[in-house]
Amino acid sequence: MLNEEYAALDSSDSDSDLEDVLLLEVFNRHNNVNRAEMYGAFNLNNLSETECKLYFRFEQDDIPRLAQALRVPNDLTTGSGHRCSGIEGLCILLRRLSYPNRLSELEYLFGKSAPALSKIIDYMLNHIYNNFGHKLSNLRNLHWLNLDRFQLYANAISQKGAPIPNWWAFIDGTARSICKPSENQEAYYSGHKRHHCVKYQALTCPDGMIVSLKGGYEGRKHDAAILRESQLYYQLERSARFPNGENFIIYGDKAYGIRELLLTPFANRAGMTPEQQEFNARISEVRIAVEWGFGKVIAEFAFLDYKKNQKLLLQEVASMYSTAVILINCHTCLYSNQTAKSFNIDPIELEEYLQ
């Protein structure tokens, strides 16, 4: 009977994971099957290195290190009473993010029911976001982002061919598709993208570390309005100016508007001087590298790129994306990335980032 119920759930493309969880909770309330007995309990050491990287995006030996750095408890209990080890809880979250599987499809790997997996995922998302979300909210929360690090970033960008010696980071935005919301549909509809979406604003360094993430904002909101609401420029005035007179600037699209600490390209119009054209060309070549940052988030955590799983009123879409970015920064600390290699700069250590 249970297999028939799963088959019925999986037969409809319109069914969501959350619907699966609710239905399975009803189906199994009085006839619960012990998944650990059916499939065996989860043991990280039973997986190959290839399986670990495929399922969790991290190497097997680094998962306990990551759990410790994230201060995941050795044993965790959700509010609904579901229990697992901290390492298993982290693996459940990583597996959830890595690919848009149904929760019922993860029961075999972890030996837990879909409702239990859902509660553990929520626990882990809340744990990471509540303890480390501040790493993305304010530059002053990053103790390692000091004058020496600003100078290191600026030197790396300058050596790449940038015409400005004090350019240290890139500001950019991304729009992530979501399901058509049941409320405020017009607010989340982007005429430019032609779909409903949530927007994020990120500040990325030449080592690929995302040091600021703001969002999610309504899909129709303009980049300049997001910058204003995010108060990022106010943070720059407090963090990128130093008593010795050194100031460090960021670069972004012309939509942001030029300011003292924010550089944008010259407007592409008739009458541009050769110097202005060369300036834009050199900056454009350097800027391409930052686009890999958002790309890595989706490449490693494809669940975030599946809009049917992104439901505003049913999930904390923004906090999930922020948590994924924190984990991507952790991944960058451990394994570097394409951006860091392009600029020939090493990211900071994992423990230093999460300190």
Measured CA distances, 339 to 151, 183, 192 (Å)? 17, 38, 28
> E strands along the chain, which residues?
75-77, 83-85, 167-177, 189-190, 195-204, 210-218, 249-251, 262-263
Q: What is the mean pLDDT of the chain?
A: 86
Q: What is the pTM of this model?
A: 0.86
234-254: per-residue pLDDT in tens?
A: 999 999 999 999 999 999 999
Residue 221's identity, in one-letter code, is K
Q: Does residue 98 surpass a pLDDT of 50?
A: yes
Q: What is the pLDDT of residue 269?
A: 74
Check if the beta carbon of residue 322 is closer than 8 Å to that of residue 134: no
Cα–Cα distance for residue pair 232/61, rounded to 1 Å: 37
Residue 342: beta bridge partners?
none
Q: What is the pLDDT of residue 159?
A: 94
Cα–Cα distance for residue pair 249/239, rounded to 1 Å: 11
Q: What is the pLDDT of residue 192?
A: 57
Cα–Cα distance for residue pair 332/327, rounded to 1 Å: 9
Cα–Cα distance for residue pair 285/334, rounded to 1 Å: 27
Q: Give me the helix-helix angle, 317-335 and 291-300, nearest 10°.
A: 100
The residue-averaged pLDDT of 174-189 equals 67
The residue-averaged pLDDT of 113-125 equals 95
**Which of 27-36, 86-95, 341-350 has the lowest average pLDDT?**
27-36
Domain extents in the chain: 2-132, 134-354
Q: Does residue 1 surpass a pLDDT of 50?
A: no
Q: Does residue 299 surpass a pLDDT of 90?
A: yes
* Both structure tokens of 330: 């952790």
**Which of 56-70, 88-102, 188-202 has the lowest average pLDDT?**
188-202
Alpha-carbon dihedral sign for residues 114, 118, 120, 125: positive
Query: Per the omega criterion (within 30 degrees of 0), is the bond before 86 cis?
Result: no
